[in-house]
């Protein structure tokens, strides 16, 4: 399943060029990304599901507005952010003042995309098992048990993979002079 900016953008462009299979793969690949995005912002699971579906519909119906020269995930998360704002307005939910800037900020999405690409680049230097464990638990927000079930391994194996992977990443970053 596509997870990198390049893979997602390729699927989006394929869908724009009339490839129905690429478009379907894109929408399926977006589900876990959107789940993670909304789970961090909402507490009610039903709201998360509704917003994921809402966002997928918006991606489908507004796909012609995507600029092929710009990062796909910036466009996606802008749509997701507006869906979340609309949700809060409809339900008149209060949002702590600390979170308002997080929801409303328009700038910085490209920084987030670049950060995601940096994470993808770093994780590519690890073993696939370690990279997946870190991505699942630290990037996508899955619990250790969810990550273990998805990878068909034990929970302790996930914990060890995360620990060793983070240790290896730390050594990589220190070695690069950052």
For residues 84 and 82, give the distance between their C-alpha atoms in angstroms, rounded to a whole number: 5
Band of the pLDDT at 135, cuts 50, 70, 90? confident
For residues 139 and 36, give the distance between their C-alpha atoms in angstroms, rounded to a whole number: 8
Between the alpha carbon of residue 164 and those of residues 113, 114, 127, 140, 160, the distances in Å are 26, 25, 10, 18, 6
For residues 25 and 132, give the distance between their C-alpha atoms in angstroms, rounded to a whole number: 20
Token pair 């003042």 in the structure block, residue: 97
Each residue of 32-88: pLDDT tens digit? 999 988 888 877 777 899 999 999 999 999 999 999 999 999 899 999 988 888 887
Average pLDDT over residues 126-152: 89
Q: Please return the burial class of 73, using the count of CB atoms within 10 Å of its CB with bins 0-12, 13-18 and 19+.
A: buried
Q: Of 58-72, 80-94, 96-110, 164-178, which one has max mean pLDDT?
A: 58-72
For residues 14 and 159, give the distance between their C-alpha atoms in angstroms, rounded to a whole number: 37
Each residue of 2-32: pLDDT tens digit? 678 889 999 999 999 999 999 999 999 999 9
Q: Which residue has the higher pLDDT, 161 or 90?
A: 161
Token pair in block for residue 36:
């993670």
pLDDT value for 115: 53
Judged by average pLDDT, the poorest of 14-23, 158-167, 169-178 is 169-178
For residues 115 and 95, give the distance between their C-alpha atoms in angstroms, rounded to a whole number: 26
Each residue of 112-131: pLDDT tens digit? 545 555 777 788 899 999 99
């Amino acid at each position: 399943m596509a997870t990198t900016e390049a893979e997602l953008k390729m699927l989006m462009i394929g869908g724009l060029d009339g490839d129905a299979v690429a478009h379907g793969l894109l929408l399926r690949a977006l589900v876990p990304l959107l789940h993670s995005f909304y789970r961090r912002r909402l507490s009610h699971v039903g709201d998360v599901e509704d917003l994921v579906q809402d966002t997928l519909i918006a991606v489908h119906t507004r796909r012609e507005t995507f600029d092929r020269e710009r990062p796909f995930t910036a466009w996606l998360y802008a749509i997701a952010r507006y869906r979340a704002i609309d949700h809060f307005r409809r339900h008149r939910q209060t949002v702590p003042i600390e979170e308002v800037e997080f929801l409303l900020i328009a700038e910085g999405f490209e920084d987030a995309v670049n950060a995601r690409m940096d994470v993808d680049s770093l994780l590519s230097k690890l073993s696939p098992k370690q990279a997946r464990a870190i991505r699942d638990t630290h990037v996508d927000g899955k619990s250790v048990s969810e990550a273990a079930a998805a990878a068909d391994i034990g929970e302790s194996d996930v914990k060890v993979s995360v620990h060793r992977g983070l240790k290896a990443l730390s050594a990589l970053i220190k070695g690069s002079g950052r």
